[in-house]
Structure 1
Amino acid sequence: MWFRGDLVHCPNLGELNVLYDYILGVDQSGYIAYVAPATTAESLAIIHASKEPIILVPRGSFLLPTFCDLHLHAPQFLYQGTGLHLPLMEWLNEYAFRAEESLDANPILAEKVYRRLATRLIENGTGAVLLFGTIKTETNIILARVMQEAGLRAFVGKLSMDISSRATYVEQSAESSLHSARSFVDQCHNLCAHMPAHERLVEPVITPRFVPTCSDGLLEGLGKLAAEKTLRVQSHMAEAHDQMDWVRRERGADDVDIFARHGLLTPRTVQAHCTFLGAPALSDIARRGTAVAHCPLSNAYFSAQPFRLREALQRGVRVGLGTDIAGGYDVDIMGSMRQAVAVSRMREGARIMADTNEDGQVAEGARQVNLAVDWKEALYLATRGGALALGLPAGCGTFTVGAPFDAQFIRVFSETTGEGIGSLDFFDTDKNAAKRKTLAVDMIEKWWCLGDHRNREGMWVQGRKVSAP
């Protein structure tokens, strides 16, 4: 499969590369086999000799790596966009546990919810997603199967929780919870075992919900299971003020210390939120290789303070973005990108005000680090940064030879009319806007700020074009 057109990717934090008029080739297994300017002798020979049609990415359009969502509660998609008026610990019992319990009791409903979720992810350009499921193994196998059939990279976690504020939604003991976790891991692996390696898109994830729902015995066992089978781990850490107070009061330690003690902070771990981690803790998880799923929208609802994004990046923490459905109400990672920038700018404004004295001068000894991130950095977090945090195959999130071809086809303006697509408008001084030839960086920025699903022409994961199931 061959493409010709403009490619856009962010290989490093803050770096936006626009590769104008390139040829990109994808092999039979879905890996990028060739990337080069279309005007080189080798590319021209490929174009001339190609026996299959070359997919043209027209002027005003570009290919971009797919988005990665590092934190999404699949069963909570059932009530997305409602129930955000309560503090975290009350919200869990009133909404989250109830929704998860209802899907565990109704496999037909679970299938319907998960298929619609897959549709929405594809519409919004999400090619890889880290999912929290429910406590019932069979329901999580439905989730894994639906995601595999949809052609999405999905890392599915069966919840482990032997403590609960909802008496009807809890596992009987640490031992039974560990048995169920092991059974799910085996069944999830068996789901794709008959497929070639490059087609196995779904993997199991060890998923202690968070410290308040897991005994020390359960956490210890999950840490050993993750090490034994070299599994990814996900959970919530240092998210909300009421949750942090509960953990200190009941367990006599902070989240980060408890997870570390039980072997659950590893290079294969993604912890959501981490809003209450200060500089020493951020340095500690960077040293351990643990990644963070930054979910700015849900943090606005459930955390008393924002995540220290700039400080985490400076310390080398791997960070990606998450929607946190349904603690966040928007399944589109583009929303998370925009919110991450807005929150960071508010943090920078607060820093400036705190460091400025009554005379408008910067106070002596004030920090000079700019806490704001820009749109290019946010785009990196949504693509390459998320891929690194998830531990995806080498090169994911970039257009480089050997990387899986995970891409979305974005249209900014019409090649024939020059008019913007969807909500995008362009007001050229040139009377003939249809003659516009160059995809400028400010056009990409406009799409980043205003674009939506109407700009997305298609999406590929591992070289296969995906569509709504």
Structure 2
Amino acid sequence: MLFRGTFVQCPSLGELEIFDDWLIAVDDSGYITHFEPAPSSDLLRRNEPINLPLGTFLLPPFNDLHLHAPQFLYQGNGLDLPLLEWLNQYAFKAEEKLDCDPELARTVYRRLGQRLIKAGTGAVCLFGTLKEETNIILAEEMQSAGIRAFVGKVSMDISSRPSYIEASSSVAIDAAREFGEKLDQTWSIPSSTTSQSRPQLVHPVITPRFVPTCSDELLHGLGALSAEKGWRIQSHMAESSDQVEWVKKERGDDDIHIFEKHNLLTPRTIQAHCTYLSPSSASLASQRTAIAHCPLSNIYFSASRAFCLREALEAQVKVGLGTDIAGGYSLDIMSAMRTAVAVSRVREGERDREGMALQNVDTTSNGKSLAIDWKESLFLATLGGARALGVESGVFKVGAPFDAQQIRLFNSSTRVGAGALDFFEMEIEAGRNQEKYHKQTCITKAMIERWWCIGDERNREAMWVQGIEILGSSP
């Protein structure tokens, strides 16, 4: 495949690159082989490119680092209780329901895959349920959708509903091993045009739910299993005040020390939330693990504290964004980006307020504003999230997989904005000089910022993962 048009990416925190009239070539295995300015490329002499429509650009897809797949069943409901009560009242019941009804599970997970694609999510780290069969269904539906997915069979052997718990730590460890080995032995995607196969998109991830539901024996066994197999790890850490207090009372320690003791803080680990870690603790954890920042669900379950995002970034933490369905009500990473910026601006406002002392703010921000801007959030959603997941996408470069979403800003003929977007000045100028404005119109940072603020699914026209089109005219 050969594409010609405009490409946008965030190669580093706060940096936005716009490549106007560039060419990208993709081989049969879905990897980028050329990325260069179109006018000077020899490829055009031998190949006819797919010309991206004027008014559109390609951007790496979003990465969702933290999503509870079975909780999609009740997305948008049940955010009225503290975390530990909410788990018993809503989350465990929903998960148990899907474990008892494979047909419902397949319906829910198939729709989840469809929704993720429409929202521009190309890679996702998923919490599943206890039952292997239900998690296999989840993996099958993500594979069918064509999304990069890290699927976790939840492990928990204490402090849950009597009907929704594993019999012992050894049973839970064996079940995690069996599920992971099944996924490892299963899928690669055959190319539709050649005999070559593409890399596996669905992988297992070891998933101790969180410290309150996992005995020390279970945590230790899962840490050893991850080291043996090289599998990724996901969990929750220091999410809410009631959870933190429970762990201190029942285990006499903090989440971070318990995870560290059992070798569950590694370069392969993603810990969600971390709102009740002090900035210095967040720095310690981030030397070895990534953090999934879930700002919308933090508003509901960590209302008195906000994640120390700027401090974590300054400490070189690998940070990406998560939706935390259904603790967060929106499946759209664009909502997570906007909320992350808003929460960070509130933190900066509180720090600047005269006489206000915040217990979770210290000097580790190196004097920088605690607020992030839209470009920084876009980095977290794309390359930042990809790095946290350990995948090579998130940026357009030779050797990387071709993962991309096509965004339309305006109609190339009428110059009318797409979806919720309006570009009045451009419409007026097009009316004055049709000949001039039927030529290439450069996409600007101001246009992209407008899309970031008010764009939605209507602006997303296509998406590719590993070179395969999963949204568009020929998925």
TM-score range, shorter chain: over 0.9
- Alignment counterpart, residue 52 of structure 2, candidates 46, 57, 61: 57
| Aligned 8 A contact 1:77 1:113 in 2 | yes
Correspondence 1:253-272 to 2 at 5 A: 253-272=253-272
Give the alignment of 1:348-367 within 5 angstroms. 348-354=348-354
The residue type equivalent to 1:191 in the other structure is T
Alignment partner, residue 291 of structure 1: 290
Once the two structures are aligned, what percentage of the paired residues are identical? 59
Q: Distance in 1 between matches of 2:380 and 2:369?
A: 18
Letter paired with 1:9: Q
Aligned amino acid, residue 219 of structure 1: L
1:369 and 2:368 are equivalent in the alignment: yes
The answer as to whether partners of 1:185 and 1:204 remain within 8 angstroms in 2 is: yes
1:203 is aligned to 2:203 = yes
**Aligned mates of 2:46, 2:175 — CA distance in 1:** 54
1:363 aligns with none
Query: What is the letter of the counterpart of residue 266 of structure 1?
Result: T
Q: Return 5+ residue gaps in structure 1 as ranges.
A: 358-365
- Offset of residue 279 of structure 1: 2.2
Q: Which amino acid aligns with 2:444?
A: A
CA RMSD of aligned residues (A): 1.7
Distance in 1 of aligned mates of 2:158 and 2:197? 37
Name the structure 1 match of 2:110.
Answer: 115
Give the deviation of 1:355 after TM superposition.
Answer: 5.8
> 1: CA distance between counterparts of 2:189 and 2:379?
34
Cα distance in 2 between the residues matched to 1:2 and 1:165: 52
Name structure 2 gaps, 5 residues minimum.
191-195, 358-364
User: Quick one: which amino acid aligns to residue 432 of structure 1?
Assistant: A
Q: How many angstroms apart in 2 are the aligned matches of 1:191 and 1:87?
A: 39
Deviation of the 1:283 alpha carbon: 1.9
Tell me, in whole angstroms, the C-alpha distance in 2 between the residues paired with 1:63 and 1:142: 31
1:47 maps to: 44
The residue that corresponds to 2:465 in the other structure is 461
- Give deviations 1:413-440, integer Å, cap 9, x for gaps: 1111100000001111744256171111
* Matching of residue 75 in structure 1 with residue 70 in structure 2: yes
Counterparts in 2 of 1:261-340, with a 5 A limit? Answer: 261-288=261-288, 290-303=289-302, 304-340=304-340
Q: Which residue of 1 aligns with 2:30?
A: 30
| 3-state DSSP of counterpart to 2:338 | helix
> Counterparts of 2:459 and 2:141 in 1: how far apart (Å)?
25
User: What is the letter of the counterpart of residue 416 of structure 1?
Assistant: S
* Secondary structure of 1:191 counterpart: coil
Query: Judging changes above 3 Å, is the alpha-carbon distance between structure 1 residues 115 and 12 closer, same or farther for their aligned structure 2 residues?
Result: same
Tell me the alpha carbon deviations over residues 39-91 of structure 1, each in whole angstroms, 9 at most, x when there is no partner: 11xx2x322311xx522112211000010000000000000000000000000
Taking the aligned partners of 1:416 and 1:57, their CA distance within structure 2 comes to 14
CA distance in 2, matches of 1:3, 1:115: 30
Kept in 2: contact 1:323–1:333 (CA 8 A): yes
Deviation, structure 1 residue 354? 4.3
Give aligned pairs, total. 453
1:349 is paired with a residue whose SS is helix
Question: 1-side partners of 2:316 and 2:143: how far apart?
Answer: 32
Which is worse superposed, 348-357 or 161-170? 348-357
Q: CA deviation at 1:376?
A: 0.2
* 1:59–1:439 contact (8 Å) kept in structure 2: no
Q: Distance in 1 between matches of 2:185 and 2:326?
A: 29
The 1:139/1:272 distance shift into structure 2, 3 A limit, reads same
- Partner in structure 2 of residue 164 of structure 1: 159
Contact 1:159-1:207 within 8 A present in 2 as well: yes
Is 1:419 matched with 2:416? yes
- Residue in structure 2 matched with residue 444 of structure 1 by the alignment: 448
Alignment of 1:2-21 (within 5 A): 2-21=2-21
The partner residue of 2:79 within 81, 84, 101 is 84
Structure 1 CA distance for aligned equivalents of residues 450 and 166 of structure 2: 48
TM-superposed CA distance for 1:356, in Å, is 7.7
Residue aligning to 2:193: none
Q: TM-score, normalised by structure 2?
A: 0.93
| Residue aligned with 2:39, SS | coil
Task: Give the direction of change, closer, same or farther, for the CA distance of 1:94–1:58 in structure 2 (3 Å limit).
Answer: same
What secondary structure does 2:90 align onto? helix
Please list every run of at least 4 consecutive aligned residues from structure 1 whose deviation after the TM superposition is greater than 4 angstroms. Answer: 193-197, 354-357
